[in-house]
Amino acid sequence: MSFDLPEEFNAADYFIDRNIREGRSEKAAVLCEGRVTTYGDMQVMVNRFGNALKSLGVRMENRVAMLLQDTEVFPQVFFGTIKMGAVPVCLNTMQKSKDFEYYLNDSRAEVLIVDALLLELIEPIRGNLRFVKHIVVSNGISPYGDLSLDTQISGQPDKLEAAPTHKDDVCFWLYSSGTTGLPKGVVHLQHDMVYLCETYGKKVLGICESDITFSAPKLFFAYGLGAGLYFPFSVGATAVYLPHRPTPEAVYETIYRHSPTLFFAVPTLYGQLLKHEGHMESVRLGISGGEALPSTYLHRVKKRFDIDVLDGVGSTEMAHVYISTSPGDIRAGSTGKIVPGFEARIVDENLQDVPVGETGVLLIKGDSAAAYYWNKHEQTKKTMLGPWLNTGDKYSQDADGYFYFSGRADDMFKVGGNWVSPIEVEACLLEHRAVLECAVVGALDSDSMTKPMAFVVLDSDSEKSPEMVNELQNYVKSALALYKYPRWIRFMNELPKTVTGKIKRFELRQMAQNLAER
């Protein structure tokens, strides 16, 4: 897929200034905790912030780190940085001080914009930051004498000419989750967000100016950044922000208050919402990402709320979703089909295409792909194979073009010489009336043979007992091949997850081995 962008292109001009040129100055861009920020307001905020960075000595291509909650300040800082030619680096607000020390030193950011509520996480590492020259505090005052965002932008000019960046210039960074080592700085270009808007945004979501988006996943990572920022801003729609933790109660209250039409969440949250009272009358389409969507959630959401939930898979490296179900084309258990504008291959360990129906590693090709990992040359070569990105996900594709997720390459394991997909066993367990959440990993038995172990969160009405263990094991035996049933079942109050809602399987694998050895 191709679309015309001029060689000189600045993403902030496209997502902010273009909306003003097209007459949306008075249109609400962001709704947050009772505050309404119009596109006209946002343009002024963006321009003032960009000018403030210039006054601090920030130059083109310098990095500006963002440790911000989801408020109207986020797009102000994000696009203000891009507009003056610097590069925003989005940081995960749920991390610890030592993580921020790594991010800030690795990125060499000269300026850190931090929410006042998160400033205490920076104080213990302040003396270890090798490159940060200025800390600017938003949504409050620093007790440590740091610069105030309000003070810095006060008196700055309302006008700012977009920096003459190229469409292939560096635009923004995201950090990978770091599940296979230290987090990697994922470097995206000026045209990447536009490509995703023209493909997934328009071809799958059908997003339009009248839409109101609400993303429970936060703006600091790829899924939330698209859902809550560049998709709505690409068409002059409105984004709803929830700065705090998206509990079921908070999500339902936000939906009631702002009537979003597109709702983005992770499968775990859909499961939690089904356990609480609330409605989604305004929502025309639900979207799920981060983990495979269990068929049981898909059917239960449809039955209770009468809305379809689109399942999709994406990555930080591709900046958003590249395989997805579509309205009117949802097949339970499938991640859907390739998003128009992307290409996919399923290959074996020698990077040769596997036959239809067989499982292999998914490679993806599309023009939203990151340029490289910052200062990770070897990892870049292993993952970015020319125009193809090695996702590390195990997939199969049927004759109709539907893709089926089997887990990460390192999540699969063999039992008696047969491959077991944790996703398949988990989907079976979730069909049981008592199971709210679950995760399956491999563990070694007393003979050092790998067998499945299931970690299960039960419905509040069900009892953790040996009888329940037997019932769940027999349930899987009756539905799947015998070698796939979990030899051990461990009940938990909750599963360990990343802030994006993904299950921390590496932690469960460690726990599984310790438990199996007892």
Q: How far is CA 112 from CA 86, 93, 102, 273, 324, in A?
A: 13, 13, 13, 35, 35
**Count of residues for the chain?**
518
Q: pTM above the 0.75 mark?
A: yes
- Which helix (H) or strand (E) element contains residue 416? none
Distance from C-alpha of 279 to C-alpha of 273, rounded to nearest angstrom: 9
For 413-438, how does the pLDDT look when each residue is reduced to its tens digit (9 = 90+)? Answer: 888 777 788 888 998 999 999 999 99
Distance from C-alpha of 483 to C-alpha of 486, rounded to nearest angstrom: 8
Q: Both tokens of residue 249?
A: 């109660």
Alpha helices by DSSP H, listed for 259-355, are: 267-273, 295-305
For 31-68, how does the pLDDT look when each residue is reduced to its tens digit (9 = 90+)? Answer: 999 999 999 999 999 999 999 999 999 999 999 999 99
C-alpha angle with apex 449: 447 to 453, nearest 5 degrees? 115
Distance from C-alpha of 2 to C-alpha of 198, rounded to nearest angstrom: 9
Burial class (CB in 10 A: 0-12, 13-18, 19+), 293: buried
> What are the start-end ranges of the E strands in 230-387?
238-241, 262-265, 285-288, 309-314, 321-324, 337-338, 343-347, 360-365, 372-373, 384-385
Per-residue pLDDT of the chain (518 residues; tens, 9 = 90+): 667 899 999 999 999 999 999 999 999 999 999 999 999 999 999 999 999 999 999 999 999 999 999 999 999 999 999 999 999 999 999 888 999 999 999 999 999 999 999 999 999 999 999 999 999 999 999 999 999 999 999 999 999 999 999 999 999 999 986 545 678 999 999 999 999 999 999 999 999 999 999 999 999 989 999 999 999 999 999 999 999 999 999 999 999 999 999 999 988 889 889 989 999 999 999 999 987 888 889 999 999 999 999 999 999 999 999 999 999 999 998 999 999 999 999 999 999 999 999 999 999 999 999 999 999 999 999 999 999 999 989 999 999 999 998 877 778 888 877 778 888 899 899 999 999 999 999 998 877 788 999 999 998 889 999 999 999 999 999 988 898 999 999 999 999 987 666 788 888 988 887 776 55
Domains of the chain: 1-190 (3.40.50.980), 191-367+377-409 (3.40.50.12780), 411-516 (3.30.300.30)
